[in-house]
Amino acid sequence: MSRKTTFRDRLTLQTTLLCLLVLTIAGTAVFLGARTALLANLDGALLGIARAELASALDGPGGKVHIHEDSKLVLHGAAGYEKYALIRDEHGDLAAHTANVLPRQLPKLDQQALQSTGGGLAVFGDIYLDGRALRAVYYPFKDLKGRPYIAICAVPYAPMEQSLRLLGATLLLALTTCGLGATWGARRLALRLTDPLEELAQRARHIGGETLHERIPQLSQDDELVSLTDGLNEMLSQLDVAFAERQTMIDAQRQFLMDASHELRTPVSNLRGLVEVSLRRPRTNESYQRTLSICLPEIKRLNVLVNDLLTLVRAEAGTVVLAKEPVDLVALIGQALQAHQANATEKQVHLCPTTPESLNLQGDPTRLRQVLDNLIDNALRFAPTESKVEVTLTEQDKMAVLTVRDQGPGISPEDLPHLFKRFWRADVSRNRATGGLGLGLAITHSLVEAHGGTITVESVVGKGACFSVTIPRHGFTTA
């Protein structure tokens, strides 16, 4: 199986190639610059030779044009150049030449350069001798009698090309050496840049479900790595919170099942016991009727519990179906108070409503009546004898505000945050003397929120409790 290319390898390769590209461009620029400089140096020397030739070309006997045989042309820092020179008259005939130019084997001239000398200015071009290209200057002049001539001085390219080959070899060697150095440097740079990333990855791999509280320390001062570390730590924080919420939800579901099982077990056990006792021997119809009359309250209690559980689960899941129709809250409060009047009379508690003549809102009358029943029932359960339960309805900023206040023992500050939790009761012994199952306020809270409202409670120990429900009068989002 082939080894996968790592980011470190790609970074090393790309950095090396970039360095080689830069070095190649620089070397090419140096080479071309040197060639241009050598050629300019050579052209300058040729122009000097041509002018020297012209200065001495007319000093022969009778003003005859001639050429001096000089030694090799030597440029500064370069090898010697063999000079070739010839002079042509206006008819193109050879008037004079150096010994190395044979009349029977004349060089091939640059016709374009020859034509360009018609302006009287020196022109650089080439000549070709024995298949070799030579650099030449075509220099027009006139003799003492005014006859036109063209002096052509040339030197071979070979020495310059030899110097360029030596320079090219030197540059290639330098490029190779620098390339190896660039590869080593790129690898070191890649290691330096990726070592923090590798350590970051290792530390991230060590953080799991049991160690989500741990955070990755800053391993570098580089802004990019600091931002990456901060991003990973923020993600870990979010995961930590999400896992904690998930665990809380799991614990809540487990507790809900335990509480529901506990609440269901009592009436089911009672029913089972009664039925088993009744079936042990034949009994009279009156005996069966007594047994059924005892079973009926347990069945009713079981039915209420199941319905409350179903309502609570649907409300918390956001799937409870609410009707949206006009509701007369004043009439609804009157109906609820009338239904609880017998219980209030039995406990010698006075129900004191304070309502306007009329106050309507858009909502589900059945669910709103359930909210009223739960709050009034809760108040009556804890209200002492000869006390009052005040039910008040007002309107504030297009919101219907319902308050239910009792004069009972009140609720301790430690218990207030848990008041709307399901199956929660202030007495840790779970005594059912008050008759509550710990679902009424949780259901009330969910139903009020389903109507787009809020419910709050204020209480002072020994001075009772006051529940306040605020619901928008005009419209809410149905589930």
Domains in the chain: boundaries: 7-166, 207-319, 321-472
> In this predicted model, what pLDDT tens digit does every residue of 280-334 receive, in sequence order?
888 888 888 888 888 888 788 778 777 777 777 777 666 677 888 999 999 999 9
**Quick one: which of 70, 69, 67 has its CA closest to 86?**
67
Specify the CATH number of the domain 207-319: 1.10.287.130
Amino acid at 252: A
pLDDT band per the 50, 70, 90 thresholds, residue 450: confident
Per the structure block, which two tokens stand in for 126?
A: 């080439």
Report the alpha-carbon distance of residue 359 to residue 336 in Å, rounded.
16
State the pLDDT at residue 429: 36
CATH topology of domain 7-166: Beta-Lactamase (3.30.450)
Indicate whether 77 pLDDT > 60: no
Report the alpha-carbon distance of residue 474 to residue 326 in Å, rounded.
9
Angle at 396 between CA 325 and CA 337, to 5 degrees: 60
**Quick one: which of 180, 139, 156 has its CA closest to 54?**
139
CATH topology of domain 321-472: Heat Shock Protein 90 (3.30.565)
Please report how the helices 158-205 and 7-57 are oriented relative to each other, as an axis angle in degrees rounded to 10. 160
Cβ atoms of residues 17 and 176 within 8 Å? no
Number of residues written out for the chain: 479
**Quick one: which of 168, 188, 204, 231 has its CA closest to 30?**
168
What's the whole-number average pLDDT of the chain?
Answer: 82
> In this predicted model, what pLDDT tens digit does every residue of 357-376 receive, in sequence order?
999 999 999 889 989 998 99
The pLDDT of 262-286, averaged and rounded, is 79
Question: At 466, phi and psi to the nearest 5?
Answer: -130, 120
Report the alpha-carbon distance of residue 221 to residue 218 in Å, rounded.
7
What's this model's pTM, rounded to 2 decimal places?
Answer: 0.48
Residues 6+ apart with CB under 8 A from 231: none
